[in-house]
Chain A
Amino acid sequence: MLIPVLIGILIVTFTLTRLIPGDACVVMLGEKATPEKCAAFRDRYGLNDSLPVQFVRYLGTVAQGDFGTSVRNGRYVTDILAERLPMTVELAVAAMLFATTFGVALGVLSAIRHNSSVDVGTVIGANIGVSIPVFVLGLLLAYIFALLLKNTPFFIPPSGRLSPGISMPSLVQLWGMENSPGLVQFLVSLISNSVILHSIIIGRFDITQDALWHLILPAVALGTIPLAIIARLTRSSLLDVLGQDYIRTARAKGLKERTTLWKHAFRSALIPIVTIVGLQVGGLLSGALLTETVFALPGVGTQIVTSITARDYPVLQGFVVVVALMFALVTILVDMSYAFLDPRVRVQ
């Protein structure tokens, strides 16, 4: 299942980058492109071979974890990935935690208090929540919490990842791993670039706190649309289940309302909820692009936008493949979680 999708993703990204109008050499070398230099360039990147040959070679390099180097600054794409990916993962996880916690809570609350003011409020709020663009909400949140509440305890910083002046030594340097194999270095720098994990590892919890504080507004901005969708679905699927006969049976045999709700109703309502949570991850990756732009966060999204404006296609290609791969993995994880939640699927 994963392999065909992965190959498909690679074909699409490969084709898209080959479809870029104009000579690749001129696009990449710019004004320096002379016929001699272009001939050397084509030889170096194997652009004289047929497209299928190029694609197979591309598959080979990607399988080895090599996405090439940036045409702008010559850095390895994998290095840039190791630098940018942790930020986006932190943001996405924070947003998803926010969305799931509050979404499920609001959904359950409005289902058990059907037609109450909480319920009506949730439904109206959820409708507005799914209609507000991430970047508008982000800017409004920044305006409210960083300007209007500036001199109050509710002030939250509107941009950046850490307060100015805070920095931590890279774990690769700290642990003297400059000569370790590439994959180990890549993994260590992934952890090192996740400010939250890094600060916990070296025991600087003040930095963890600062990082989390900076993450609040982006996570809320990014998590609001998923929150609204999760709340709506939790509400409707729980309402549906609560109307079923077996819930009446549970109540009739004298079970406590709490047991009926959580052990009988919520468990069955969970399957559509997990599906929708999983589906939100794709939207989350799209939204992260915008959130990072609004809050000036050095993540995957801002790098993709920069690469497009700078026409840095190897970087763009590598990042698109990795993001699509992450998305595909999450989809598969969601599919697998059904078996855990629904015994009927396990039997099949």
Chain B
Amino acid sequence: MSEVATVKGEPLAVPAPMVKSALKTRTPLEDTLRRLSRHRSFRVGIVLLALIVLIAIFAEVLAPYDPTQPLRDVKPRTAPCIHLFGCPADQPEHLMGIDGNSRDVYSRVLYGARLSLEIGFTTTFFAILIGTLLGALGGYIGGWTDTGIMRGMDILLAFPSLLLAIAIVAVLGPGLINALLAVAIVSIPIYARLFRSSVLQIKELEYVTAGRAIGDSSTRLLLRHILPNALTPIIVAGTLGIATTILEAAALSFLGLGAQPPTPEWGSMISAERNLIFSAPHLIFFPGIAIVLTVLSFNLIGDGLRDALDPRLRIG
């Protein structure tokens, strides 16, 4: 069945003027966007992410209090006070309650969105940059360079990721930047492997040989011909990778190895109050929901991109 579908999917060999009049041709980009806009989980994910991005951008405007400064005249760990739900009007409103250091949890959660997005994007970008570079070198040059790089990647993959990240933080010392570096290093092998396999496939294609025949340099071949065509799987893996990165960075902060107080980072907010889950569950619940929604948005978008961009999956 699938073979028939592929044949049907091929553009028909009809003279150009006829095509123009009969059906409007779409560029591959339009095609992808159309498929994405019809993908239900992608739509949910993109709306969710847009919301989180807006919160991150306008955190200053939206947050009623300073996320790091303790408030005066409040009792630590008070439950949320929402006027709409019967909280006396003479009390100041705290949508998500007060944390152990008398700070407004709502403001901290809002600022946390900014931090989490920064963590997700910078770390993944760094990992992709190094990963694709290593993958390109290995795949393009081949030989001992390739073997050396790929065995190195295998060894990094031989460790459970969080364990390796913890070991790296142990060496570098706890702190947000070191934690991010650790998370990035741990995810490099995924991109290196992925990009290498794409490069290996593409470098044998005829248009690359043609490029070489007309005298293109290796750098030009890699950057102009191979890179743009090997990017699709990286985009998909990168989107899903942002989700993993945010989870791992939060986990490191939860273990006390990442962001340090009073930074409004969701993982460290949960870590600070985790022993009080029975008396002040809202201090765990709200940052927890924030992590889930952010990670979920990237996972949904990643799924959508994979379905829309990966032709092998589209047929099935």
Q: Is the CB of B255 within 8 A of A289?
A: yes
B151 partner residues in chain A, CB cutoff 8 A = 4, 8
Q: Is the CB of B166 within 8 A of A290?
A: no
Q: Is the CB of B291 within 8 A of A16?
A: no
Q: Is the CB of B170 within 8 A of A20?
A: yes
Q: Is the CB of A289 within 8 A of B243?
A: no
B293 partner residues in chain A, CB cutoff 8 A = 131
Stretch at the interface among B85-93, B132-140, B154-162, B212-220: B154-162
A121 at the interface (CB under 8 A from B): no
- Give bound CA distance, A130 to B303, whole Å: 12
Stretch at the interface among A138-146, A182-190, A197-205: A138-146
B254 partner residues in chain A, CB cutoff 8 A = 133, 135, 290, 293
Q: Is the CB of A282 within 8 A of B160?
A: yes
- Give bound CA distance, A11 to B285, whole Å: 41
Stretch at the interface among A74-82, A212-220, A316-324: A316-324
State which residues 245-294 of B face A: CB under 8 Å. 247, 250-251, 254-257, 267, 270, 274, 277-278, 281, 284-285, 288, 291-293
Chain A CB count within 10 A is highest, among B160, B164, B251, for: B160
A9 partner residues in chain B, CB cutoff 8 A = 155, 158-159
Q: Is the CB of B270 within 8 A of A135?
A: yes
Q: Is the CB of B247 within 8 A of A133?
A: yes
A136 partner residues in chain B, CB cutoff 8 A = 270, 284, 288, 291-292
- Give bound CA distance, A294 to B274, whole Å: 8
Q: Is the CB of B155 within 8 A of A140?
A: no
Binary contact readout A1-30 vs B (1 if CB under 8 angstroms, 0 otherwise): 000110011011100110111000000000
B187 CB to closest chain A CB, in angstroms? 13
Stretch at the interface among A56-64, A171-179, A301-309: A301-309
Q: Is the CB of A135 within 8 A of B274?
A: yes
Number of A-B contacts defined by CB within 8 Å = 135
A46 at the interface (CB under 8 A from B): no
A320 partner residues in chain B, CB cutoff 8 A = 159, 163, 167
Binary contact readout A131-167 vs B (1 if CB under 8 angstroms, 0 otherwise): 1111110011011001100000000000000000000
Q: Is the CB of A127 within 8 A of B284?
A: no
Q: Is the CB of A133 within 8 A of B291?
A: yes
- Give bound CA distance, A147 to B284, whole Å: 15
B167 partner residues in chain A, CB cutoff 8 A = 13, 16, 316, 320
Binary contact readout B158-194 vs A (1 if CB under 8 angstroms, 0 otherwise): 1111111011111101000000000000000000000
- Give bound CA distance, A133 to B268, whole Å: 13
Q: Is the CB of A285 within 8 A of B296?
A: no
Q: Is the CB of A143 within 8 A of B277?
A: yes
Given contacts A8-B151, A136-B284, A143-B278, contact A131 B251 (CB under 8 A): no
A243 partner residues in chain B, CB cutoff 8 A = 1, 316
Binary contact readout A77-105 vs B (1 if CB under 8 angstroms, 0 otherwise): 00000000000000000000000000000
A128 at the interface (CB under 8 A from B): yes
Q: Is the CB of A308 within 8 A of B163?
A: no
- Give bound CA distance, A199 to B35, whole Å: 57
**Contacts A135-B270, A290-B254 supplied; 8 other A-B pairs, CB < 8 Å:** A4-B151, A8-B155, A8-B158, A20-B170, A135-B254, A290-B162, A320-B159, A320-B167
Residue positions of B touching A, CB distance < 8 A:
1, 41, 151, 154-156, 158-164, 166-171, 173, 243, 247, 250-251, 254-257, 267, 270, 274, 277-278, 281, 284-285, 288, 291-293, 295-296, 299-300, 303, 316
What 4 pairs between A and B have smallest CB-CB spacing? Answer: A286-B162, A8-B155, A136-B288, A131-B296
Residue positions of A touching B, CB distance < 8 A:
4-5, 8-9, 11-13, 16-17, 19-21, 127-128, 130-136, 139-140, 142-143, 146-147, 240, 243, 245, 282-283, 285-287, 289-290, 293-294, 304-305, 308-309, 316, 320, 323-324, 327-328, 331
List 24 A-B residue pairs with CB atoms under 8 Å apart, sorted by A's residue number: A5-B158, A9-B155, A9-B159, A12-B164, A127-B300, A131-B243, A132-B288, A132-B295, A133-B247, A133-B254, A133-B267, A243-B1, A282-B160, A285-B163, A286-B163, A290-B255, A305-B166, A305-B255, A305-B256, A308-B166, A308-B169, A320-B163, A323-B160, A327-B159
